[in-house]
């Protein structure tokens, strides 16, 4: 059903991360430097851990782009894991000789049996019948979100053709709402071997009215955005516009009154509690999304858990982790929202080339007022 869709593959300490994208029309300019800047933004943020000092995420486009322009063919991209060179034996794709004591030691050293509360470890090991939780951790790791940011950057290249603008900002870390207080709280959590979550806002501007639809449950754009954002590891809540505040507001204070600007032949609202979506469709106002991320479950001071081999009580596994990754999550959130909006654009306007998409878009916009 999706017009713009993608799959990713790759493990946290495997050779690389990949994505295959389908549905991007031909003749869209793709700037690899821009994709790399987006990848760098995801690596930053106060509270990130040691892994980010090892990696310098860079995209390599393997197909679907020629001379910097999409051809309409599937786009395949790859991001190398620099850390992989330290994991060639424990993450070997090929069979290894377990009779070799050095190899046995290297594999055993990376085996995990003490599952982390709050991560995919235990349910994943049960579901996939794994005795080494490494086989769950490697793919459930949020490292996978680097691929999504690269795909999102390609969606952003497409959206920019229509004048779409976007931004995100962190609203809250733990119980702090100001930058200095947020940093202090992160420092304190780090000292205590603890982690922190928070909340961020994403805004998309210049989105035309009428993307998404009310006619079927799975066409509603608010549902599609919420699903995409909830699919980011550690995200626990997504709000659109006034979001959770709506529970306390009466109808007269919830809904945004409608006006008409005769000079510009345009409908508008003075408030945006709807967050740019009414009836599962964009209404022409800014798309405003608020996302809540829980604290990362890998902690230097681990919680009580169980060793799945011995069934005895143990502190959960700790390898290396971020104290706080809310800033990074906001960049992933922008990427996921861009992917959904690019899909909704293509659903509405179609087109196998950007010229065709633009012709359809311009015809539609002419009649909107
Ligand atoms: C990473 C996200 C986190 C990091 C990971 C890199 O993933 P997870 O959800 O597994 O905690 O911990 O780095 C490591 C696993 C490591 O080797 O330190 C990311 O955003 O790239």
- In DSSP notation, 124-170 reads HHHHHT-SSTHHHHHHHSGGGHHHHHHHHHHHHHHHHTTT-EEEEEE
Task: Determine the Cα–Cα distance for residues 65 and 24; give it in Å rounded to an integer.
Answer: 10
Weakest mean pLDDT among 77-91, 215-229, 308-322: 308-322
Contact 170, 129 (CB under 8 A): no
Residue in 274, 338, 350 with CA at minimum distance from that of residue 6: 338
- Alpha carbon nearest to ligand 1 atom 19, residue: 143
146 Cβ below 6 A of ligand 1: yes
pLDDT (tens digit, 9 = 90+) per residue, 55-77? 999 999 999 999 999 999 999 99
Q: What 3-state class would DSSP assign to 162?
A: coil
Residue to substitute in 57, 85, 112, 143 for testing ligand 1 pocket (most ligand atoms within 8 angstroms of CB): 143
Split at pLDDT 50, 70, 90, the class of 278 is: very high
User: Above 90 in pLDDT, residue 116?
Assistant: yes
Q: What does pTM read for this prediction?
A: 0.97
Specify the residue with its C-alpha closest to ligand 1, atom 4: 321
Instruction: Give residue for tokens 């709050």.
Output: 118
Res 319: pLDDT: 84
Range of the domain at 281: 5-367
The residue whose CA has the least distance to atom 8 of ligand 1 is 141
Q: Which pLDDT belongs to residue 281?
A: 98
Which atom of ligand 1 lies at the shortest distance from residue 320's CA?
18
Q: Residue 1: is its pLDDT beyond 80?
A: no
Measured from the Cα of 49, ligand 1's closest atom is 18
Q: Is 51 in the pocket of ligand 1 (CB under 6 A)?
A: yes
Whose Cα sits closest to atom 6 in ligand 1? 143
Residue nearest to atom 13 of ligand 1 (CA): 51
CA dihedral sign, ordered 236, 287, 271, 211: negative
The count of structural domains within the chain is 1
CATH (domain of 274): 3.60.150.10
pLDDT at 325: 97
What is the average pLDDT across 196-208?
Answer: 98
180 CA from centroid of ligand 1 (Å): 25
Cα pseudo-dihedral 136, 138, 142, 143, rounded to 10:
-170
143 C-alpha vs ligand 1 centroid, how far in Å?
5
Q: ∠ CA(159), CA(164), CA(170), 5° rounding?
A: 105
Give tens-digit pLDDT for 227-273. Answer: 999 999 999 999 999 999 999 999 999 999 999 999 999 999 999 99
Whole-angstrom distance, CA of residue 182 vs CA of residue 196: 10
CA of 48 to the centre of ligand 1 (A): 10
What pLDDT band is residue 98 in, cutting at 50, 70 and 90? Answer: confident
How high is the pLDDT of residue 58? 98
Please, are residues 14 and 138 in contact by the beta-carbon 8 Å criterion?
yes
Can you give the pLDDT at residue 369?
A: 82
CA dist 331 and 333 (Å) reads: 5
**Is the shortest distance between the CB of 233 and ligand 1 below 6 Å?**
yes
Q: Are 99 and 123 in contact (CB under 8 A)?
A: no
pLDDT mean across residues, the chain: 97
Q: How many CB atoms lie within 10 A of CB 368?
A: 12
Residue nearest to atom 1 of ligand 1 (CA): 143
């Amino acid at each position: 059903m999706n017009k713009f869709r993608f799959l990713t593959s790759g493990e946290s300490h495997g050779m690389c991360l990949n994505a295959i994208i389908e549905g991007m029309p031909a003749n869209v300019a793709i700037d690899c430097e821009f994709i790399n800047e987006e990848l760098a933004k995801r690596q930053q943020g106060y509270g990130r851990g040691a892994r980010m000092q090892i990696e310098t995420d860079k995209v390599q486009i393997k197909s679907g782009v020629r001379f910097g322009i999409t051809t309409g063919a599937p786009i395949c991209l790859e991001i190398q894991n620099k850390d992989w060179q330290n994991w060639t034996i424990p993450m070997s794709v090929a069979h290894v000789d377990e009779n070799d004591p050095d190899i046995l030691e290297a594999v055993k050293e990376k085996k995990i049996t003490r599952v982390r509360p709050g991560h995919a470890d235990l349910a994943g090991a049960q579901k996939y019948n794994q005795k080494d939780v490494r086989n769950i951790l490697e793919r459930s790791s949020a490292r996978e979100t680097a691929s999504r940011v690269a795909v999102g950057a390609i969606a952003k290249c497409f959206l920019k053709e229509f004048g779409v603008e976007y931004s995100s900002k962190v609203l809250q870390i733990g119980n702090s709402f100001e930058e200095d207080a947020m940093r202090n709280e992160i420092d304190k959590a780090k000292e205590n071997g603890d982690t922190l979550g928070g909340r961020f806002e994403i805004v998309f501007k210049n989105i035309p009215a009428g993307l998404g639809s009310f006619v079927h449950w799975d066409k509603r754009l608010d549902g599609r955005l919420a699903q995409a954002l909830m699919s980011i590891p550690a995200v626990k809540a997504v709000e659109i516009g006034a979001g959770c505040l709506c529970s306390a507001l009466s109808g007269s204070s919830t809904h945004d009154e409608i006006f008409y600007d005769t000079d510009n032949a345009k409908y508008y609202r003075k408030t945006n509690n709807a967050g740019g979506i009414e009836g599962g469709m964009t209404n022409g106002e800014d798309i405003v999304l608020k996302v809540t991320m829980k604290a990362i479950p890998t902690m230097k001071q681990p919680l009580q858990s169980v060793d799945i081999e011995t069934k005895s009580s143990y502190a959960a596994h700790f390898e290396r982790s971020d104290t706080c990754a809310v800033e990074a999550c906001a960049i992933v959130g922008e990427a996921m929202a861009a992917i959904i909006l690019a899909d909704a654009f293509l659903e509405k306007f179609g087109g196998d080339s950007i010229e065709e998409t633009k012709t359809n878009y311009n015809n539609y916009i002419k009649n909107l007022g």
